[in-house]
């Protein structure tokens, strides 16, 4: 089983890129399964099932963050894809806080970023970009050549070894190099491990404490002026 | 790698039949136009060029540089990319001040004398616009015409792209024959997608598009060049009228007749 994980901010064009990739996979008669992890709403699974007739699954992460959800379900998802007879599992996830990264060792990590989100975006997002193998930049036709160059430069400044692919996915432009990389992806190994370290410590906010202010929390904290401190046993 | 020639090999039109123009080449210094009614595939053609189509776009066209297939780093690295495409949708999204933004771009491009290259870029842009562009205004505050002018100036001067594709610049309210004259000073390949007869006839040749296919290639003969000269006079006259109206004056019959008399044909 080969695992390809697509991450990126909402509305950046992940699904459009995936559909173009699936089109090319179908032309090569390669069967992929598709798992969508979103927070509250998604209908891409039904659209993809209808268009390509491949096995699809959708999970709403709800109270969990999508990356967290990805970690706890991925092993079963790989089994599911295997039982469907698919050689590839495509996972589309909307990692939200950008402190985690969904990529697994031996998978292919693809981060989709839209060129229109501003030249500073590559500097703002962390491991979702820095731990990815490919950065697909979408909507390139909407911004100036100059900003494209600066955007790309800043992607490479954050993630030096990443492969940058510029794409106008609506027209299927720039998709071939992504497919090429997907076909070169090695098989996944078990047990699977996250590629990066998740954020430090147990977060009291994640476990449900709603009070505002550091004095109500423990673990790794900070105040407005002080850097990180540890409070607890 | 120095670009001196780009060639386009024909593919198929919307109905699947082979294009009548099966090849054309452009060399440094060439100015050409792509003409045809809206929806005929003009923009698709320049998109194919920009992408270095290799039978992998819907048209099935193929593009080579210096008679060779296009190297991969050309395609993936926009600062090595020899083509700047300025489309009708292209915009600046950055709200940085003009000077700061140009500084970033020039630095990314490895310019040595940033201040003078910015000066040259702004001078170029300001020759095309009505109101000059101020250095400390935010990019997003520029008008449509100023934006287009700066896009062109940035691509020509800072980007120094050897091939520049301009999609319907006549819609931007910039001085287009002036633009053409300015652009001719730079040794580059210019491709205009245009509905403007002046631009079309001032080009070395034009590609006529129909139903998604390159229908014919028409070289501008001396007779058409003569017509272009006359048309430019009419165009300049219209621009004078525009200036009069823009500056709040009235366009009287005597001014109109005065201008008309100047025409030499």
Least confident of B38-42, B127-131, B169-173: B169-173
Does the ipTM exceed 0.85? no
Strand partners, A137: A113, A166
Same domain, yes or no, for A121 and A93?
Answer: yes
Is B54 buried (19+), middle (13-18) or exposed (0-12) by CB count in 10 A? middle
Q: Average per-residue pLDDT in chain A?
A: 87
Domain that includes residue A44, residue range: 2-183
Question: CA-CA distance, A171 to A26, in Å (whole number)?
Answer: 17
CB of B235 within 8 Å of a chain A CB? The answer is no
- Residue A166 to residue B78, Cβ atoms within 8 A: yes
Nearest to A147 among B51, B84, B94 (CB): B94
Domain-embedded: residue A192 = no
Domain-embedded: residue A176 = yes
pTM score > 0.90 for this model? no
- Residue A153 to residue B108, Cβ atoms within 8 A: yes
Structural domain boundaries in chain B: 5-221, 222-265
Q: In A, which residues are within 8 Å of B92 by CB distance?
A: 143-144, 146-147
Question: CA-CA distance, A5 to A102, in Å (whole number)?
Answer: 7
Rounded mean pLDDT, B162-181: 80
A125-138 confidence digits (pLDDT tens): 889 999 999 999 99
A18-66 confidence digits (pLDDT tens): 999 999 999 999 999 999 998 888 899 999 999 999 999 998 887 777 8
Q: In A, which residues are within 8 Å of B94 by CB distance?
A: 118-119, 147
pLDDT surpasses 70 at A87: yes
The tokens for B62 are 């193929």
Higher pLDDT, B94 or A26: A26
CB of B79 within 8 Å of a chain A CB? The answer is yes
Q: In B, which residues are within 8 Å of A163 by CB distance?
A: 76
Asked whether the beta carbons of A103 and A126 are under 8 A apart, the reply is no
pLDDT recorded at residue A55 = 96
Q: Which residues have CB under 8 Å from B224's CB, separation 6+?
A: B201
pLDDT recorded at residue B17 = 93
Kindly report the CATH number assigned to the domain that includes residue A173.
Answer: 3.40.50.300
pLDDT surpasses 70 at B76: no
B55-71 confidence digits (pLDDT tens): 878 899 999 999 998 87
What fold does the segment set B5-221 form as a domain? Rossmann fold (3.40.50)
Q: How many separate domains does chain A show?
A: 2
Asked whether the beta carbons of A172 and A76 are under 8 A apart, the reply is no
Q: Interface of chain A against chain B, CB under 8 Å? A: 116, 118-119, 141-150, 152-153, 163-166, 168, 171-174, 176-177
pLDDT recorded at residue B79 = 66
pLDDT surpasses 60 at B127: yes
CB of B110 within 8 Å of a chain A CB? The answer is no
Same domain, yes or no, for A103 and A217?
Answer: no
Domain-embedded: residue A158 = yes
Asked whether the beta carbons of B65 and B5 are under 8 A apart, the reply is yes
CB of B154 within 8 Å of a chain A CB? The answer is yes
CA distance A9 to chain B (A): 18
């Amino acid at each position: 089983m080969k695992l390809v994980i697509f991450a990126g901010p909402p509305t950046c064009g992940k699904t459009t890129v995936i559909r173009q990739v699936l089109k090319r996979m179908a032309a090569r008669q390669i069967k992929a399964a598709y798992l969508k992890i979103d927070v509250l709403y998604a209908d891409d699974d039904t659209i993809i099932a209808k268009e390509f007739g491949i096995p699809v699954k959708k999970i709403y992460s709800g109270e969990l963050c999508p990356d967290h959800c990805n970690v706890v379900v991925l092993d079963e998802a790989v089994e599911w894809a295997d039982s469907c007879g698919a050689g590839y599992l495509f996972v589309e996830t909307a990692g939200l806080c950008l402190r985690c990264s969904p990529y697994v060792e031996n998978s292919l990590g693809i981060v989709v970023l839209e060129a229109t989100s501003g030249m500073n975006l590559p500097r703002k997002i962390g491991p979702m970009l820095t731990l990815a193998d490919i950065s697909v930049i979408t909507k390139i036709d909407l911004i100036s050549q100059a900003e494209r160059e600066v955007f790309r430069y800043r992607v490479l400044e954050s993630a030096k070894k990443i492969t940058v692919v510029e794409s106008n996915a609506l027209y299927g432009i720039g998709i071939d190099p992504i497919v090429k990389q997907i076909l070169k992806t090695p098989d996944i190994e078990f047990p699977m491990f996250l590629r990066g370290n998740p954020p430090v410590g147990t977060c009291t906010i994640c476990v449900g404490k709603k009070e505002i202010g550091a004095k109500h929390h423990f673990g790794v904290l900070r105040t407005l002026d002080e850097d990180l401190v540890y409070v607890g046993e | 790698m120095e670009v001196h020639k780009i060639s386009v090999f024909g593919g198929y039109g919307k109905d699947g039949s082979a294009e009548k123009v099966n090849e054309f080449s452009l060399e440094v210094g060439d100015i050409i136009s792509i003409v045809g009614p809206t929806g005929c595939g003009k923009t698709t053609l320049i998109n194919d060029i920009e992408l270095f189509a290799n039978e992998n776009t819907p048209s099935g066209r193929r593009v080579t540089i210096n008679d060779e297939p296009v190297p991969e780093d050309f395609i993936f690295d926009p600062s090595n990319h020899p083509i700047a495409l300025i489309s009708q949708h292209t915009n600046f999204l950055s709200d940085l001040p003009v000077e700061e933004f140009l500084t970033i771009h020039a630095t990314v491009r490895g310019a040595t004398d940033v201040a003078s290259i910015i000066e040259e870029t702004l001078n170029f842009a300001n020759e095309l616009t009505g109101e000059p562009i101020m250095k400390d205004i935010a990019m997003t505050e520029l008008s449509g015409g100023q934006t287009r002018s700066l896009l062109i100036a940035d691509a020509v001067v800072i980007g120094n792209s050897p091939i520049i594709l301009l999609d319907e610049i006549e819609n931007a309210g910039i001085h287009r024959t002036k633009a053409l004259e300015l652009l001719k000073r730079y040794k580059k390949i210019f491709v205009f997608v245009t509905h403007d007869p002046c631009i079309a006839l001032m080009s070395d040749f034009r590609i006529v598009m129909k139903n998604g296919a390159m229908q014919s290639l028409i070289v501008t003969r001396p007779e058409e060049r003569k017509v272009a000269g006359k048309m430019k006079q009419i165009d300049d006259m219209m621009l004078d009228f525009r200036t009069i109206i823009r500056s709040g004056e009235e366009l009287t019959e005597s001014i109109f007749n005065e201008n008309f008399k100047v025409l030499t044909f």
